[in-house]
Structure 1
Amino acid sequence: MKLKKIIMAIVLSLSFNSFAQLTAVDYKDGEQVLSGFGIKPKSVSKDKPGVLLLPAWFGIDGHSKESAEKLAELGYYSFVADIYGKDNRPKNSAEAGKNAGYYKKNYDEYQKRIQLALDQLVKLGANPDKIVVMGYCFGGTGAIEAARANLKVQGVVSFHGGLGKDISRPIGKINPKVLVLHGADDPFVPKEEVDAFQTEMRASGADWQMVYYANSVHAFTHKDAGSDNSKGAAYNELADKRSWIALKDFLKEVL
């Protein structure tokens, strides 16, 4: 009986690996070629919910791809967005900071790139009325920008993302539900930024939640961030697991 169960598990594993695979997808913003990754779920529900993933400041990485694969296992169409462009991938931290800084400042261009990726998620098969945007670090900032732009999504999730915006920008009504998963000791998002964000959420009439994780700093979901909190960015296994559970609960609620 045990042998039969083992064989069945192997068959199911092979079946999933042969079906739910990340596929490179080229698309464009004007003349700029973008190249993201899409993946379909193992089993397709009639609602066809989808999740758009926005990567951290280095652009598409193993972490974002792994998350897309995990979401496909849960039954979601997933697409990993390319914000920078196929020929504009940063080679080091200096370039990553410059690229991310540009889109944080030119938030309308960031929002446009997010929308273009959303279009690809729908082309992949996701129901346009059943979509959530999630992002890590710089991508978490993008998820918040998707809410500020009121893109056609049911909700957004920011993992250890930047929350600030220029004070000259007006505060408008925010329709998507907002979930912020935040390191309680994140030195890169000062208290003033958190307070301003919460004030914005209240003024916008948003349905928002903010969860703090103890002993966690920036990049707490990134296993390659090391374990030294004194550096400001470090992996925290417990916060990583808890935040993923919070994501799954949020997806079930809004999708």
Structure 2
Amino acid sequence: MKKTTLLAFTLFAAATISRAQLKPVAYQDGNQKLNGFSIKPQNPTQNKAGILVLPAWMGIDAHAKETAENLSKLGYYAFVADIYGEGNYPKNTSDAGKMAGMYKKDYKAYQHRIDLAMQQLIKAGADPSRLAAVGFCFGGSGVLEMARANFPVRGVVSFHGGLGKDTNRPTETIRPKVLVCHGANDPYEPQAEVLAFQQEMRDAKADWQMIYYANAVHSFTDPNAGNDNSKGAAYNEKAAKHSWEHMKLFLNELFAR
């Protein structure tokens, strides 16, 4: 083997070995086993910022894992949360609807599972003073619950998440910054709920943004959602790319100092 070829092979092998990879992490909520995924940044930011990833209603999926991997490429520690726990993973969308609905109603239990995952993110090496969260669909609802509970995060990003909350719940001042990336044609979010959410943000004196994406419906960031908008949930490549860039800008501002 020529020296130049050997050198190239060695460099490629070294890069492959050093590349950050998702690692399964088992943790507990009492007797309930939870199975998340952790990944360290390929090139850490100077201040060890960390991002919690909350998956959609089917639980940890390829999209959530890929999001964590892409965040690690940006220099962030990332952790994918397991909300349901071993033995409780949905087998179909009917199961997922029931499970997600239970946690949306019992939001304190949802917040507790999120907090356990956030502690794992910190254990992995993220600076506890430099945290944020991103979530998709059901997970998008979850990051808004983090904001409502004033989790110790600098900000949250909700991608096509549920926006509503029980009208009997009081509105408290929200300290984390909020970015909502929303499909302009999402049939699962009634206009009344959207307007109520926007009023909640005003009443909470939140630092918030809501960006609409044309021709996008629910699940527009997930390549596995298909491309048929008539089903109400579908991938939209342009909206997915634009919302990712908006998230990057938001995170850069959060961690600028």
TM-score by structure 2 length? 0.94
Distance 1:68 1:153 in 2: 17
Which string of whole-angstrom CA distances, capped at 9 and with x for unpartnered residues, describes residues 177-206 of structure 1?
000000000000110110000000000010
Alignment of 1:147-166 (within 5 A): 147-166=147-166
Partner of 1:119: 119
Which AA in structure 1 matches 2:222? H
In the other structure, the counterpart of 2:208 is 208
- Does residue 85 (structure 1) correspond to residue 85 (structure 2)? The answer is yes
Q: Supply the AA of the counterpart residue of 2:111.
A: Q
Give 2:25's aligned amino acid. Answer: V
Aligned-residue offset at 1:45: 3.1
Is this contact kept in 2: 1:16–1:42, CA < 8 A? no
Deviations 1:133-152 (A, max 9, x none): 11000000001000001000
Q: Percent sequence identity over matched residues?
A: 58
Structure 1 ranges of 4+ moved more than 3 A: 7-14, 16-19
Identify the residue that residue 187 of structure 1 maps to in structure 2: 187
SS, match of residue 121 in structure 1: helix
Q: CA deviation at 1:226?
A: 1.0
Distance, in Å, in 1 between the alignment partners of 2:49 and 2:79 is 12
Confirm or deny: 8 A CA contact 1:178 1:208 kept in the other structure. Answer: yes
2: distance between equivalents of 1:10 and 1:212?
Answer: 47
Give the 5 Å matches for 1:9-28. 11=11, 15-16=15-16, 18-28=18-28
CA RMSD of aligned residues (A): 1.7
Q: Which amino acid aligns with 2:94?
A: A
User: C-alpha displacement at 1:46, in angstroms?
Assistant: 3.1
SS in 2 for 1:150: coil
Q: TM-score, normalised by structure 1?
A: 0.95
1:147, 1:175 within 8 Å by CA — same for their partners in 2?
yes
CA distance 1:174–1:9, shift in 2 (3 Å): farther
The alpha carbon displacement at 1:82 in A equals 0.1
